Amino acid sequence: MTAPAEHLPEAVLRPVRGHHAFEACVEQLATAIRLGVYPLGTALPPERELAAILQVSRATLREAMAALREAGLVETTRGRGGGTVVTLKPRTPSARAAARISPERRRDWLDALEFRRVVEPGAAYLAARIQPAGVRREQLERALADVDAARRPAAHRQADSRFHLTVASLADSPRTIEAVTSVQATLHEMLLAIPVLGTNIAHSDRQHAALVKAILAGDADRARRVMEEHCDDTAALLRGLLG
């Protein structure tokens, strides 16, 4: 079995910062695998050891490993002699789609994530400054409820996009709406190329709720921070799984 360069895992993997460790774990481990820190055929360190390096709970690490399995990056066997091994064999439709992405498309998608980090927190800030009331308040609350109620992956993705577009529409800025529409269209393509991950959706739903609370309270700075965290978590997951 192939062995990783002994010094690289400790150099590349680092303690996870922030409240949403799942996405950060996926990004770090997937990046380490893609860059050959753990080459094809390598057994990843034991769960206890990886959790200690990343400074996350073993439950969080298990969720991250499940995401890597869904993406076709690793396989896990149980029992004596079992463990998690790097396979790089895309088995699900989303994993196969990710494997077919051209370098040019990857660069465009990474640029879109940076662009999103600029425009969507700004849209949230403007929406909170206006502090919607009446019909516009109802539109925002209904958009949030639609995301929470969506059960099928396709329906959830669409409801999620509508929620973000609703936030942008409250900014009363046609250029902001145009920018968010563009970035959401690209984000939709990216999400189609990764597995649907329940842990990430649960994080996202909580952030949506916090964002709505901040906007309706007129707390523009808080709305911007929440959207920044939301964009950062999604970007970490996508960078990890799409490479």
Listed range (57-66, 69-78, 130-139) with the worst mean pLDDT: 69-78
Return the number of other C-beta atoms located less than 10 Å from residue 183's C-beta. 22
The CA distances from residue 111 to 38, 75, 105, 116, 170, in Å, are 27, 31, 10, 9, 25
87 half-sphere exposure, CB direction, 13 A CA radius: 18
Against a cut of 0.95, is the pTM above it? Answer: no
Q: Please report which confidence band the pLDDT of residue 103 belongs to, taking 50, 70 and 90 as the band edges.
A: confident
Average pLDDT over residues 106-110: 90
Q: Please report which confidence band the pLDDT of residue 61 belongs to, taking 50, 70 and 90 as the band edges.
A: very high
Residues 6+ apart with CB under 8 A from 135: none
97 half-sphere exposure, CB direction, 13 A CA radius: 11
Residue 192, pLDDT above cutoff 70: yes
- What percent of the chain stands above pLDDT 70? 91
Residue 134, pLDDT above cutoff 60: yes
Listed range (58-72, 93-107, 207-221) with the worst mean pLDDT: 93-107
**Crossing angle for the helix pair 47-54 and 21-34, to the nearest 10 degrees:** 110
**pLDDT for res 113:** 96
**pLDDT for res 56:** 93
Cβ atoms 167, 147 nearer than 8 A: no
**pLDDT for res 174:** 93
Residue 1, pLDDT above cutoff 60: no
Q: Give the highest mean pLDDT range of 29-38, 97-106, 133-142, 197-206.
A: 133-142
Average pLDDT over residues 116-126: 97
Average pLDDT over residues 212-235: 96
Query: Over the chain, what is the mean pLDDT?
Result: 88
